[in-house]
Amino acid sequence: MYYFAGVDVGGTNTKIGILNGEGDILKSVSIKTESIMGVDYTLNKIWETILVLLDELDIDRDVIKGIGMGIPGPVIEQKKVGFFANFPWEQNVNISEKMEKISGVKTRLENDVNVIALGETLYGAGKGFSKSITIALGTGIGGGIFIDGKLISGATGAGGEIGHMKLEKDGKLCGCGQKGCFETYASATGVMRETLSRLQMNKDNSLYKFIEGDLNRLEAKHVFDEAKKGDKFCLDIVDYVSEYLALGIGNVLNIINPEVVILAGGVALAGDILMEGVKEKLPRYALGITIENLEIKIGELGNDAGIKGASALTI
């Protein structure tokens, strides 16, 4: 029996797990990333943590057949990282080679959202499908495209960056420096931005009462919660967000034509109140043939999607 290590490298924390070949997590732990200590320190610490987990599980290190890592940045050929979002590390570092030197174990990497997409497709909401798109609706919008057993990472690692698909000409300014990106409208940040701007004009709503007039307390989740209770102001915002979600998803459907769309991340937890609007509006943007048998599902693996998907990179 062989085992695999799955590593989900995040800005603050890194989640590390030991898994079997079926994606079952035998044991996992979360450690501080400490990227400021440098790439070599970080990789050594990850390997030491893997060894501790193996020890606790009483598994010999010889039966670890691979290390898979999800990385916050564009990954080229599952080995090199173009640049690290938020880390003070060099560009174009071959992390795979470095980790293999430290551990003696085959190591492969992918972008962190691509790894979530792989996890959900193989072991979660996309199980049994061979063509999926996973959209992670969080602070930004990330995407992972999986076609016939392969993730589409692209020539320079930017494949699947659907959050920066343009939905408006000269639209809202995005963190990427361009305007009108999908994520400025339908991410948690986008929801907050739209809500704050509307609250300047309209304070007669249950959301404003809920946050007791303190705009600093506002979270995207509150908007969906108050909408579920029937607040008209929040229902209008949900309608606005679902329109952009339908437009963004529709564009992707027309290009990729997947069997299933998996929505992950915090905004996806809004559930039916958001999804009903998306499903109703989708026929306006997606070609009929792309939605005939389409399934739209909410991600099932939560925070485990990353290490599950990462572990599958070396299987």
Phi, psi of 267 (to 5 degrees): -65, -30
- What is the footprint of Zn ion within residues 166-195 (CB under 5 A)? 174, 176, 178, 181
Residue 176 or 289: the one with the smaller Cβ distance to Zn ion is 176
Q: How far is the CB of 175 from Zn ion (least distance, A)?
A: 6
CA angle, residues 168, 172, 175, in degrees to nearest 5: 115
Residue 148 or 170: the one with the smaller Cβ distance to Zn ion is 170
Q: Is 120 exposed, middle or buried (0-12, 13-18, 19+ CB in 10 A)?
A: buried
Contacting residues for 295 by C-beta, under 8 A, at least 6 apart: 129, 259, 260, 261
Neighbours of 253 (CB within 10 A): 20
Residue 53 or 249: the one with the smaller Cβ distance to Zn ion is 249
Q: How far is the CB of 166 from Zn ion (least distance, A)?
A: 8
Q: Which stretch binds Zn ion (CB under 5 A): 82-90, 157-165, 219-227, 258-266?
A: 157-165
Q: Which stretch binds Zn ion (CB under 5 A): 111-119, 129-137, 159-167, 281-289?
A: 159-167
Q: Which stretch binds Zn ion (CB under 5 A): 33-41, 43-51, 79-87, 161-169?
A: 161-169
Listing DSSP states for 262-293 in one string gives EEESGGGGGTHHHHHHHHHHGGGTS-HHHHSS
Which position among 15, 80, 164, 281 is part of the footprint of Zn ion (CB under 5 A)?
Answer: 164
Q: How far is the CB of 164 from Zn ion (least distance, A)?
A: 4
d(CA 203, CA 243): 24
Q: Is 135 exposed, middle or buried (0-12, 13-18, 19+ CB in 10 A)?
A: buried
Residue 174 or 218: the one with the smaller Cβ distance to Zn ion is 174
Q: How far is the CB of 219 from Zn ion (least distance, A)?
A: 22
- What is the footprint of Zn ion within residues 13-52 (CB under 5 A)? none
141 binds Zn ion (CB under 5 A): no
d(CA 192, CA 158): 26
d(CA 49, CA 85): 23
Residue 187 or 290: the one with the smaller Cβ distance to Zn ion is 187
Q: How far is the CB of 172 from Zn ion (least distance, A)?
A: 10
Q: How far is the CB of 118 from Zn ion (least distance, A)?
A: 23
Q: How far is the CB of 285 from Zn ion (least distance, A)?
A: 19
Residue 8 or 183: the one with the smaller Cβ distance to Zn ion is 183
- What is the footprint of Zn ion within residues 58-117 (CB under 5 A)? none
Residue 13 or 178: the one with the smaller Cβ distance to Zn ion is 178
Residue 3 or 182: the one with the smaller Cβ distance to Zn ion is 182
Q: How far is the CB of 300 from Zn ion (least distance, A)?
A: 28
Binding residue count for Zn ion, defined by CB under 5 A: 5
Q: How far is the CB of 225 from Zn ion (least distance, A)?
A: 28
Tell me the sheet residues that pair with 131.
147
Residue 37 or 176: the one with the smaller Cβ distance to Zn ion is 176
d(CA 62, CA 29): 21
Helix (H) or strand (E) holding 260: strand 260-264
Kindly calculate the radius of gyration of the chain based on its CA atoms and give it in whole angstroms: 20
Q: Are 16 and 46 within 8 A, CB to CB?
A: yes
Q: List contacts with Zn ion (CB under 5 A).
A: 164, 174, 176, 178, 181
